Amino acid sequence: MSLIAEIVISFMLIVGGIFGLLGSWGLVKLNDTMRRLHAPTKATTLGVGGVLIASMVYFAVFMERVSFHELLITAFLLITAPITANFVAKAHMHRDVKERDLPPTGGDYGWAGYDEVGDGKQPIDTK
């Protein structure tokens, strides 16, 4: 039992470490800000997830103390990663991307960061 737990913990730790390193390496290697955005938000989230699962198994098997903090941290990181990525993308487009570089929306309005919605035109019904 404890041998299986050891193998699982070591495997998760090594996978987590490799993906964490890959996320940081992608940040250095890729050559465009939008491309760089892909590397850390994905690889690092799974990297930390692997480490946290390993620590959960470790404390449950070897310390006999079931802990849910790791689940909370994993869930928190999974929920906040898309929001952070979206904010960084918006900041980048606000500073460095012109609207003519983007594809057309195909609708009556442009992209939200560039299109000014005038008075009396409220496309989304926010009540």
Partner 1 sequence: MITFALYFAIACYGIGLLLNLWRIRFAPGVVDRILALDTMVINAIALLNIYGILVGTAVYFEVSLLIAMFGFVSTVAYCRFILRGNIIE
Partner 2 sequence: MVGAILRRVFPHPQLTGFLVIIWLLLVNTITLGNLLLGVVLGVLIPGITQPFWPDRPKVGKPLKAAEYILLVLWDICIANIAVAKIILFKSNANTHSQWIAVPLELRSPEAITMLAGTITMTPGTVTAMLSADASHLLVHCLDTDDPDAVRDEIKHRYERRLKEIFE
Binding site for partner 1 (CB under 8 A): 6-7, 9-11, 13-14, 16-18, 20-21, 23-25, 27-28, 33, 36-37, 40, 44-45, 47-48, 51-52, 54-55, 58-59, 63, 65, 67, 69-70, 72-73, 76-77, 80, 83-84, 87-88, 90-92, 94-96
* Residues from 74 through 93 that contact partner 2 (CB under 8 A): 78-79, 81-83, 85-86, 89-90, 93
Residue written as token pair 């940040």? 27
As measured in angstroms, the least distance from the Cβ of 74 to partner 2 is 11
Alpha carbon distance 30, 32 (integer Å):
6
DSSP run (H or E) holding 53: helix 45-61
Query: For partner 2, how many residues bind (rule: CB under 8 A)?
Result: 52
Q: Which does 4 bind (CB under 5 to 8 A by kind): partner 1, partner 2, none?
A: none
Amino acid at 88: V
Q: Which does 14 bind (CB under 5 to 8 A by kind): partner 2, partner 1, none?
A: partner 1
> What track of x and - describes contact with partner 2 for positions 11 through 50 (by CB under 8 A)?
--------x--x--xx--xxxx-xx-xxx-xxx-xx----
95 dihedral zone (left: phi>0; alpha: psi -120 to 50; beta): alpha
For residue 36, how many other CB atoms are within 10 A of its CB? 17
Alpha carbon distance 56, 64 (integer Å):
11
Amino acid at 120: G
